[in-house]
Amino acid sequence: MPIASELRTLLVGYGYAGQTFHTPLLLATKGIKLSHVASSQTAKVKQQLGADVTVLADYSAAVQLADIDLVVIASPNDSHAPLAELALRAGKHVVIDKPFALTFNEAKALTALATEQKLLLSVFHNRRFDADFLALQQLLRSGRLGQVAHLESRFDRFRPQVRPRWREQAGPGAGLWFDLGPHLLDQSLVLFGLPHSITASLKILRPDATATDWFSVLLDYGHFGVTLGASMLAAAPSARFTLQAQHGSWQKFGLDIQEEQLKQGLTPADTGWGIEPQPGLLYQHEQVTPYSPAMGCYQHYYAAIVSAINGKGANPVPPQQSCSVMQLLELAEHSATIGKTLPVMATY
């Protein structure tokens, strides 16, 4: 489905993800024209994006519009799969915010449908483009630290009060594991592939919480392991990454700066975009040295989407990879429920 100039794009959902992440990145991407938004907040969208953007309240009808090339789904998690199916059947390329779907089976069905329709389907795993994760990738590729012993990857916050939003309320696709788990799982899969087994503990700790707000998940790779963790009750600073290896360690505190920059209204065109303010530290041979050679680059995701749709590059996050994330999300929930370690089988 070659596109002559710009991809006419519909953004579905104008909540936190749609407004903070997708809108500024779509607007900053050459080859994309954000022409439609599906949202109940018509006045807000018009005020922020201008009168040239068409706003529609009916999500299901919007994803089937004839004059749309690309549909970006940033609506609540339980709507991802049904909206993506409608869009694909209507001949649209589709980007879905994480998580891909609610279940592994939904994800597999969407992947098969996109293949059948010969359309691009991609999942917005933007944390692949975090500066600290890119630095960690470079460090591992260099072999500088030798054999990996253990990686701990954490995404902690201190939010003792439950907020009145769907992500923190009981319901399909809600809770911290489905919110942050996809990011951490995807990063581990990019680095190391599928683990041999998974052992998970998912808990509800805050007094008024009704959805998971703490987790610890161990991915066993045989000769090394990866621990993924997140908490809503982490008042003390915790390392984002701690890598232990044969010839030393690397540790990184603080989150990638790009989300905060987007919240401040900055874009990839602004000076200082994606530059790591708190470098990781390399502990080796009784020396401690900064090691943060990469810059964050969320803008690369949508640039790659444009190239892929026009037949000039690869899908930045193929759906088969995101199916593996969904598989591990489900296995972790089952592991936590029965209190056992579960084997991981390759599916693609």
Task: Tell me: do 86 and 47 sit in the same domain.
Answer: yes
pTM, whole model, 2 decimals?
A: 0.95
Q: Which residue in 296, 263, 292 sits closest to 129, CA to CA?
A: 296
Looking at residue 167, its pLDDT comes to 83
Last residue within a domain, chosen from 102, 124, 146? 124
Task: Tell me: do 32 and 100 sit in the same domain.
Answer: yes
Task: Tell me: do 35 and 146 sit in the same domain.
Answer: no
Looking at residue 2, its pLDDT comes to 45
Task: Tell me: do 219 and 280 sit in the same domain.
Answer: yes
Check if the beta carbon of residue 5 is closer than 8 Å to that of residue 309: no
Within a 13 Å sphere around the CA of 129, how many CA atoms are in the beta-carbon half? 21
CATH number at residue 174: 3.30.360.10
For residue 322, is it within any domain?
no
207 Cβ contact partners less than 8 Å away, ≥ 6 residues apart: none
Structural domain including 141 reads 127-297+329-343
Task: Tell me: do 292 and 169 sit in the same domain.
Answer: yes
Task: Tell me: do 39 and 106 sit in the same domain.
Answer: yes
Residue 91 region by backbone torsions, left for phi larger than 0, else alpha for psi between -120 and 50, else beta:
left
Per-residue pLDDT for the chain (348 aa), expressed as one digit of tens each?
A: 444 479 999 999 999 999 999 999 999 999 999 999 999 999 999 999 999 999 999 999 999 999 999 999 999 999 999 999 999 999 999 999 999 999 999 999 999 999 999 999 999 999 999 999 999 999 999 999 999 999 999 999 999 999 888 788 888 888 999 999 999 999 999 999 999 999 999 999 999 999 999 999 999 999 999 999 999 999 999 999 999 999 999 999 999 999 999 999 999 999 999 999 999 999 999 999 999 999 999 999 999 999 999 999 999 999 999 999 999 999 999 999 999 999 999 887
Last residue within a domain, chosen from 106, 124, 142? 124
For residue 318, is it within any domain?
no
For residue 314, is it within any domain?
no
Looking at residue 14, its pLDDT comes to 97
What is the bridge-based pairing of β-strands 248-253 and 7-12?
unpaired
Looking at residue 230, its pLDDT comes to 98
Looking at residue 164, its pLDDT comes to 86
Q: Residue 171 phi/psi, 5° resolution?
A: 160, 165
Taking the C-alpha atoms of residue 341 and residue 336, their distance in angstroms, rounded to an integer, is 9
CATH number at residue 103: 3.40.50.720
For residue 171, is it within any domain?
yes
Task: Tell me: do 264 and 144 sit in the same domain.
Answer: yes
Q: How many domains does the chain have?
A: 2
Task: Tell me: do 106 and 133 sit in the same domain.
Answer: no
Task: Tell me: do 120 and 133 sit in the same domain.
Answer: no
For residue 2, is it within any domain?
no
Take residue 5 and report the two structure tokens written for it: 């100039």
Rg of the chain over Cα atoms, rounded to whole angstroms, equals 20
Looking at residue 174, its pLDDT comes to 87
Q: Which residue in 187, 169, 275, 286 sits closest to 228, CA to CA?
A: 187
Looking at residue 35, its pLDDT comes to 97
Task: Tell me: do 46 and 146 sit in the same domain.
Answer: no
Looking at residue 173, its pLDDT comes to 86
Looking at residue 4, its pLDDT comes to 46
229 Cβ contact partners less than 8 Å away, ≥ 6 residues apart: 152, 153, 154, 155, 156, 215, 216, 217
For residue 313, is it within any domain?
no
Task: Tell me: do 133 and 275 sit in the same domain.
Answer: yes
Taking the C-alpha atoms of residue 197 and residue 346, their distance in angstroms, rounded to an integer, is 11
For residue 302, is it within any domain?
no
Task: Tell me: do 136 and 274 sit in the same domain.
Answer: yes
Name the burial class of residue 122, with classes exposed (0-12), middle (13-18) and buried (19+) by CB atoms within 10 angstroms of its CB. buried
Last residue within a domain, chosen from 67, 99, 124? 124
For residue 105, is it within any domain?
yes
Check if the beta carbon of residue 275 is closer than 8 Å to that of residue 257: yes
